[in-house]
Chain A
Amino acid sequence: MISVNFSQKIANIMLWASALITIAILFIMVGHILLNGVEVIDLQFLLESPKNAGREGGILPMIVSSLYTTGLALIVAIPLGIGSAIYLTEYAVKSPLTKAIRYATETLSGIPSIVVGLFGYTFFVIYLGLGFCVLSAGLTLSIMALPIIMRTAEESVRTVPIGYREGSLALGASKWQTIRKVLLPSASPGIVTGIVLGMGRAIGETAAIMFVVGGGWRMPISPLSPAQPLTVHLYELFSAGIISTEIGYGTATVLLAMVLAITFTANWTMRRYIKKIMGE
């Protein structure tokens, strides 16, 4: 029989190993891409359009497309997400409707992005007649970002101590004043986190917008121009035979850098904010 202490030792080793494997996976992946990517990236890569069927040149229109579509998505998703969070925590009483809202949010975040893509195509592009463009993509992406922002915002508004609400209302502040001046500022670290997570989701999304953006290498100017965000560009580089692995590394690096930068800036601001408010 294996002794009890021996199995405890084995277990410990296995648990440590699994954590280290997980860390290693991330470092190998990110490290590999970044190391190969930085060799490709220079000012020209960041500031030029693709050339020679995508084998050379830069990815500026793609960077702009990514930011443009993500920006539009956030413009729609942020007010809806925060509004919903406030409604659910401050106005709604528990009812079948609030249950349905939660269920819908959960479901929305579980729908495969390719299905959202099909929807974006039939609804925004065809039915509403917006065509293949930045706006259609932004609206489609807002559906992806919405449930994340909603859920995170609701959680953080809910954890604001009840005393803040009472304190404000007892001073004769209206409900909306209380929300705007006390609840939202107190909940803002959580809300910002939610927005950032939603932003990360939107900027990294491919399947939801591949039938919606239109593509091409032109710089998108108006919301009705077609666009090719970084993610779609990266796919295009590999969808019809491998066009250029170098450009692929460069594009993936820029994309990764954006996503990781977003994540870490958010964490950093949040910590600073908490420190400022809480007084050490």
Chain B
Amino acid sequence: MTVNADISRTRLPIMRVQNVTKTFSTISAGRRTHLTAVDQLDFTIAAGETIALVGESGSGKSTAAKCVADLLAPTEGTISMDGAPTIRPGRRARRRDHRRVQLVFQDPNGSLDPRQTVRQVLEEPLRNFFGNNRGELRRRVRELLADVELDESLLNRRPRELSGGQKQRLGLARALAVEPEIIVLDEPTASLDVSTRGQMLALLERVQRHTDVAYLLVSHDLAVVQSLADRVLVMYLGSIIESGPTDRVFTNPQHPYTKALIEAAPKMEYRALRSAWRLDGEIPSPTDRPSGCLLTNRCPVVQPDCHAQRPPLVAVDADHLSACIHPELLSAPSMDARTAS
């Protein structure tokens, strides 16, 4: 890949997420319970950078994504752009300019107005943000459709007349229409076939090269994460349990959850051998999070001292952080014995 000269220069973050916590309160059986969807999230995003958020289903990725896009107000912590906090906890703060941060929703169906045609979906942001005239609107709409590989014959269709993958690409196109500085991509390729997926990734890279947009990518598809992300944040039960440069996290995971995740990825073979490094046991509930390490009840190499307290994120080397106090056990030979049994 050719890298622009200016990409390698030192960058300052354009967004800083500091100690963001989001709790939902729900009432069940007459009692109010608090569900911690996201706990003490802390990271920065720089222009032109791609950060991936991976983790278990229900671990709080979409909630974090919506906080970043200013659709949910965090319960605690701040999210600031260019040093000025725009999202304060507690109240629905005055809107940040949505021109700067866009979100591609996880559910392409639910996030499209059932009554809008493809054309209307794409024209709306162009009108609202740029006040484009008719000719300009047409041209941009056509351009956006071409970008996401959608045929112009779809222009007058409504969402229910599109396939799953077509809706997903429409969601991406309208976020691109706004030309924001940060795009949060919540599972952008989940219902795309692999060849369309390849084209979408190429598009995302191309747009990033041209506009220096930053991506916060949420994905279960580890191949996509590896091909797009500079850094990865691994979430489990609302917390980041490992973070670092993509290549290092994938080749040398320092947390048992990350290792399980990487090893569980299906291989492109017929009946591939499966790793013995698996997480069994009940998944804990975010209303009742374990007090020690979050993974204690499922970790294959759990130790007595793991229950004592929640391990903090500590640096394994330079910018690779992990919240496991026994990373040495990740390559322990005892695991091979388990494989054999």
Question: A and B bound?
Answer: no
